[in-house]
Structure 1
Amino acid sequence: MMIKIIVLSGVILSILVQTTNSALTAGFTVHIINAPSNNDIPFSVQCESKDDDLGLKTPKVGDDYNFSFRGNVLGTTRFYCHYSWGSKKQFFDVFNSQMYQSRECGRIRENIFLHTKHTLSGNDYECFWKVQDDGFYFAAHNSPESYTKKYEWN
Structure 2
Amino acid sequence: MVSYKIKFSLFSFIFLLNLILRSCGAPFSSIRVVYIIDALESSSKPLTVHCQSKDDNLGYKNLHSGEEYNFRFQEKFFGGTLFFCHFWWDDKNIIFDVYNDDIATFCGDLIPLEGFDYECFWKVQEDGFYFAPHRDPPSGYEKKHDWSKVLV
TM-score (norm 1): 0.76
Q: Does 1:45 align with 2:38?
A: no
Spell out, residue by residue over 1:62-120, the C-alpha distance to the aligned partner (whole angstroms, 9 max, x if none).
111000001001110000000000110011000002223xx210001233xxxxx17xx
2:72 aligns with 68
Alignment correspondent of 1:114? none
1:89 aligned partner: 93
Matching residue of 2:142: 148
Conserved in 1, the CA contact under 8 Å of 2:45 and 2:89? yes
- 2:34 corresponds to: 30
The one-letter code sitting in structure 2 at the alignment partner of 1:36 is L
Classify 1:134/1:47 alpha carbon distance in 2 versus 1 (closer, same or farther; 3 Å).
same
Residue aligned with 1:98, SS: helix
Partner of 1:99, secondary structure, is helix
Change (3 A) 1:137 1:109: same
Count of matched residue positions in the alignment of Structure 1 and Structure 2 = 131
Q: Which moved more, 1:30-39 or 1:48-57?
A: 30-39
User: What residue identity is the alignment partner of 1:91?
Assistant: I
Unaligned runs of 5+ in 1: 112-116
Question: Where does the alignment leave 5 or more consecutive residues of structure 2 unmatched?
Answer: 23-27
Once residues 122 and 112 of structure 2 are traced to their aligned partners in structure 1, the CA distance between those partners, rounded to angstroms, is 23
Q: Tell me if 1:136 matches 2:129.
A: yes
Q: Are the counterparts in 2 of residues 43 and 84 from structure 1 also a CA contact under 8 Å?
A: yes
Deviation for aligned residue 1:59? 1.2
Question: Counterpart of 1:95 in structure 2: which amino acid?
Answer: Y
TM-score in terms of structure 2 length? 0.77
Structure 2: distance between partners of 1:132 and 1:99: 20
Partner of 1:105: 107
Contact preservation (8 Å) 1:39, 1:60: no
Between the aligned partners of 1:133 and 1:110, the Cα distance in structure 2 is 32
